[in-house]
Structure formats: structure tokens, C-alpha cells
Amino acid sequence: MKDSPYIYGAPRPGAARPEEPLLRFGRCLVDADLARLAVGLLLALVLLATALLKAPLSTVRPGMMFGQAIHYIQVEDSESLVQHLHTLGLWELAPEDQVPPVVFYNFPDDLGGFDSVIKKRIFLHAMVPTVMVALAEVEQERAHLLALLDKLGSECRLEQLLDGLKTPDQCRLQRHELEFLAGLADKYRSRRPEELLRRVNVVPVSLILAQAALESAWGSSRFAVEGNNVFGVWTWNGPGMVPYNREAGKDHKVAMYDSILESVRSYLLMLNRLPAYRALRDIRRHSMDPLALSQGLRYYSEKREEYIFDLRQMIQSNQLQRYDRLSLAPGPWSRP
């Protein structure tokens, strides 16, 4: 048949007639069964690719944190985010559960379509693993700092080492360990061991969630959606968004981040090194109670005492302290 791709006719004169039908590709004759198999495999690959593009976890990208695999997920809409939370076991979280080391890049712009109860759950349970990854980074920095300070002993002072008055060999350190200490001193803006230990430390998950919820309107603010800024952090340098209600003569912007994780990292670093939060760091030396630590955030907002009241109300009314007993699942982790 002229329009059929299959040629069931006779071969060249003098050649043996094949037992199986042939398929013509241009000037070549190919065994039809092999051709069918190839076409079937191609169709299967196309269907598989289509399914993967629609799958909730198709946007997972691997990363590393101190040797542990971290999975980064970007979502297009709230439905996709909810599917991720269910698939990853994050929709239901009980105290002392382990959460997978995943990081959500962003919050979608349609969270406002849910009622307040569901919206809060989506926001909190998407934030939890990202927050815990950021806290794990700080914990590992602190553990490494403690180990190196113990290694220094009484023979060397950190300031001498950083000033080049002592060599790594004299202080029983390797070059990469000195580089780590120098980087940490620069990052946390202190060269004194006792001050570094006050600064390189974590805060409770509940306190972070409460501030993120207040500052981002549960992930639906313009700054959270467009700039991944869930803590309302201002900037005077680098990229940022101009607030609609910025007063005349002011030049601050609201910082923009590549991901929610970058926003959490920036927030933690701000609490750990800025003079405005010295009170929080002092309280932290004796207590990790989020309600007590909230007293150290008086200068986070121009509302001062009212802001502390709102923060405490946020923690208590939403029972956020239940998230403080969660832990990060150890790697390697693979998605279900």
C-alpha cells in the first residue's frame, strides 16, 4: 500500500525472499520487528519524560552540606508544594520525628487560596526542613570551632594565629584548619574565642518559624514571594526591592535572596553577629527557651515591646514549640 511505511513486496531480483516483513527507511530495508521494538522504546521514553515533567519531585536538585546530600526543590504552585509535603512525609509531623534534608527554593504566589489552617501548615512544614538544614550548618561550624580551639590548647592564642605571629605547625593545626578559623572570624566578625563561641550558635526552630510567619504573612508577602525574603530583612547594598510605603528620603531596600535557605542563613548570621541582638546572645548562654530569647529581639522591629508580645503570642497560639524536638534525618537520604 503506497501510504503504508511497511513494505511487504518482493526483494531485489535474484535475492532470497525474507521470511519477515521489511520496513523501509529511505533506501534502507530494516527488519520490521526490530523497527517496532525501537519505536516502542522511543514511545516509552517519551511517556516517561512526560510523566517526570509532571511529577512533583521533578525539580529536585542535589546539593551538599558538610558531606551530606541536600535536595533542593523549586515549586511552581501551591498544589505542587502540597504534593511535595505529602510525598516527603512532611505533611504530618509529630514531635521527635526526623525530617528529610530538603530545601524549598521558594514559596508560590497562590498560597492565599487556602484557608488559614491549611495555609499555616503548608508554610510551617515547608519551612521546617529548610530551617533545620541552616541550623545544622551552624551546629557543624560550632562543633568544628570547639574541636580546633581544643586543639590549640594553652600554647597558642587564636589572635596570634590569625595575626601570623604563630604558624599552624606551632599550634598543631593544618593549613586548611587555619583557613577555616580565619573564615569563621571574618564571617562572625570576631577574633576572640569566647566571643566566637557566643556568636556561632543556633536558636530554636520555634523562634525562627514565629518570626518568619510574622514577617512574611505566612509566606504570602510580596517580599517572600518575589525575593524569598521571609524575615523582612533590609539592605543598603546589593539587590533589593523598594517597599511601597518607604518614607521620602529613605534609601533602604528589602533584601532579595536566591532561595529561602539563603534568607534563613542571612537571618541567623544577623542574629549572631549584630550588636542589636547582643541581648539575645546573652540570654542564649543560659537558656534556649524561645519565649525567653524573644526578649532579645526588641530591636528587630520599631514596634519594640509590642513586637515581643506578638512574637510570644505567635509561638504559643500556634504551638510552635512542638517543632523544637524534631531532628534532621542523617544522610545519605533518597526520596521515597
Q: What class does CATH assign to 57-135+201-328?
A: mainly alpha
Q: Where are the domains of the chain?
A: 6-54, 57-135+201-328, 136-199
Chain centre distance of CA 211: 17
Helix and strand numbers (H, E) in the chain are 12, 11
Q: Whole-angstrom Cα distance, residue 174 to residue 165?
A: 16
Task: Provide the pLDDT for residue 335.
Answer: 40
Catalogue the E-assigned strands of the chain.
6-7, 22-25, 28-31, 60-65, 68-73, 98-99, 102-104, 234-235, 240-241, 253-255, 327-328
Q: What is the pLDDT of residues 14-56, one digit of tens each?
A: 333 334 444 444 455 545 555 565 555 555 554 444 434 333 3
What is this structure's pTM? 0.78
Rounded average pLDDT per 10-residue block, the chain, 336 residues: 34 38 48 56 50 38 54 92 95 94 93 91 97 96 96 88 92 94 97 96 98 96 93 84 75 89 96 97 97 97 95 98 94 46
Who's near 230: CB < 8 A, 6+ residues apart?
Answer: 107, 127, 212, 215, 216, 219, 223, 224, 260, 263, 264
Residue 31 grid coordinates: 527488519
